[in-house]
Amino acid sequence: MSTTDAIGYAPPLYEPPHKPGVLKINPDWAYVPPVRPQFTLNLDREETTCLPAVSLEEADRRRQADFPIQRSNRYPSKLIERALVAELAADLGLSDAHVLVGNGIMNILTYIYDIYSRPGDHVTVPTPGFWPAYTYAFQRARGIFMPLYLHDQSDRLHPQFLFPADRTSECLAKGTAICYLCNPNNPTGTLIPFDAIESLVSDFPDCLFIVDEAYGPFAANRLDADRFELDAIVDMIRRGCRNLVVTRTFSKVYALANFRVGYIISHPANIATVKAHMGPYDMSEISLAMAHYNYLDSNYMKNVVRTVIENMAVYEHFLEEHDIPSYGGYRNSLLVEGLHFAEAYERSGIAVRAMVYQREIPNPIASTFRVTIPADVASFRFLMNVSQQIVADLPVVGGGPRRQHLD
Ligand SMILES: Cc1ncc(COP(=O)(O)O)c(C=O)c1O
C-alpha cells in the first residue's frame, strides 16, 4: 500500500484470469466476524439489544394464514417478497421496480461488486469507513482509493471526522467503478452533507455511488423527532438519477440481524440488472415473513430508535462529565477515546469493538473503541453501572495510557 497524508491506496492484489486450484487471495483479507460468546453483554457489533416486535412463531403463524404455499417442503413462493417490496415502494413514493430485497446489505453489495466492477478496477471508499467493504475489494482484486476523513480536534471532547469531499473527488477523477458512501458513516458517526453527495453523483455519472443508510433512521430521528429515514438521497432517485443505489437494512432498527434481510433503492435499470444476477430462491421465506410483519409494526421500530437516541444522550453526557472524548452520535453506536477504558469494559463482561484494521488500511482511530448503545432497559442500566464503576476505579479514564491493539 502507498499513502499520502490525504489519500490511502491499496492496489489490486492479483490479476485475472483465476485458475481452479490456485489460491489467488490471502485468506486473511476475508472478513471473519468476531463471535465472542464469553461476555455478559455484547456491544461490539452494533446489534440491537432487544428482540423484534413480532416473534418467529408469530410470523410463521401469520404467513401460513396470509399467503398460500408456505410449507417448509416447498420452494419459496416469492409472494411475501413481492408484498414486502410493494409496502417499501409505496412508503417511499416509488414504484416496485425501484426496490430490491436481498440477504442483507452485505450480500447485495457482493452482487453489485461483481456486476459493476471488474478485477483490476478501482473503488473509492472514504476512510475510516465500513471496513468489510474494503475486504470485499481485497477479495475481489479491486484496487482501493481511500480518501481520508478530515480529523477536526478543535473541540477536545467532541472531535469530529469531516467528509473529505475534495479528496473523494480527486480519487474519482482517477477512474473509479464504484464509490461507497456510508451515511451516517460507520464508525466515525459523520453525517455526510447532502450537497457533497449530490455534487459527486452528478460530477461522475460513470461511477456507481452506493449510499449506505443502514443507520439512517437514527440520524433522521436525531435531526427531526418525527422522521425515521433520511430522504434527500432517495429523492435524487425519485428525480431519475441513474448512478445511485441507496442501501437499507432490517438488521438494525427492526432488530433482525440474524434473519438477513436488507434492500436497495435505485433506478429500475439497476434493480433489474441486480435481480437478474441473483439466484431464483436466494431468500428464505421465513426471513421475509419476519421482515414483512415487523415492518408493518412500525411503532415498535420507532420506539427502538427513540430509546437508542435517548440512551445515547445519557451516555454522551456521562462521557463529557468524565472528560472522555467521543465522536459522532448519529448512529446506534459511539466511537470513544481510550483503549484502557475498552479493556476495563471487557474485564467487566461487556464486549466492545477496538478499531483494529488490516495493515493495508490507514487507521487514524487506533486509539478508539466503538460501543453499541443498548435499546433495552436492563442492558442500558448494565452499561451505565459498569461505566460508573470503571470511572470510579480509573479516575483518569480520558487521559490515561493507551494500548495499540485490543484483540
Ligand atoms: C454501514 C453498514 N452497512 C451495512 C451493514 C450490514 O447490513 P446487513 O445486516 O443488512 O448486511 C452494517 C452492519 O454492521 C453496517 O455497519
Q: Is the CB of 182 under 6 A from ligand 1?
A: yes
Same topology for domains 34-52+299-399 and 56-297, yes or no? no
- What DSSP character marks residue 402? -
Determine the distance separating the centroid of ligand 1 and the alpha carbon of 25, expressed in angstroms: 24
Atom of ligand 1 at shortest distance to CA of 186? 1
Give the Å distance between the CA of 65 and the centre of ligand 1. Answer: 32
> What pLDDT was estimated at residue 374?
98
CA 111 / ligand 1 centre spacing (Å): 15
405 has pLDDT over 50: no
What integer is the mean pLDDT of 181-187? 97
Instruction: Name residue 209's beta-bridge partners.
Output: 179, 244
Please, what is the angle between helix 132-139 and helix 104-116, to 10°? 40
- List C-alpha distances in Å: 1 to 7, 170, 173: 11, 18, 20
Q: pLDDT tens-digit profile of 211-250?
A: 999 999 999 999 999 999 999 999 999 999 999 999 999 9
Mutational test site, ligand 1, from 135, 182, 252, max ligand atoms within 8 Å of CB? 252
pTM for the full predicted model: 0.95
CB neighbour burial string for 100-134, b if at least 16 within 10 angstroms, e if fewer: bbbbbbbebbebbbebbbebebbbbbbbbbbbebb
What is the fold of 56-297? Aspartate Aminotransferase; domain 2 (3.40.640)
Domain boundaries, given as residue ranges, for the chain: 34-52+299-399, 56-297
- Please report the atom of ligand 1 found closest to the CA of residue 182: 1
Look over the chain and give the mean of its residue pLDDT values, rounded to a whole number: 92
Q: What percent of the chain has pLDDT over 70?
A: 95
pLDDT of residue 22: 80
Does ligand 1 have an atom closer than 6 angstroms to the CB of 255? no
Residue with cell 436481498: 102
Q: Is the dihedral of CA 109, 112, 114, 117 positive or negative?
A: negative
Indicate whether residue 188 lines ligand 1 (CB < 6 A): no
CATH architecture, range 34-52+299-399: Alpha-Beta Complex (3.90)
Closest to 141 in 3D by CA, of 10, 277, 274, 20: 10
Ligand 1 centroid from CA 322, angstroms: 31
pLDDT tens track for 328-371: 889 999 999 999 999 999 999 999 999 888 888 899 999 999 99
* 123: β partners: 144, 178
Cell readout for 53 is: 416486535
| 106 CB within 6 A, ligand 1 | yes
* Mutate-to-test residue for ligand 1 from 210, 251, 260, highest number of ligand atoms within 8 A of CB: 251
Q: How far apart are CA 94 and CA 90, in angstroms?
A: 6
pLDDT at 149 (0 to 100): 97
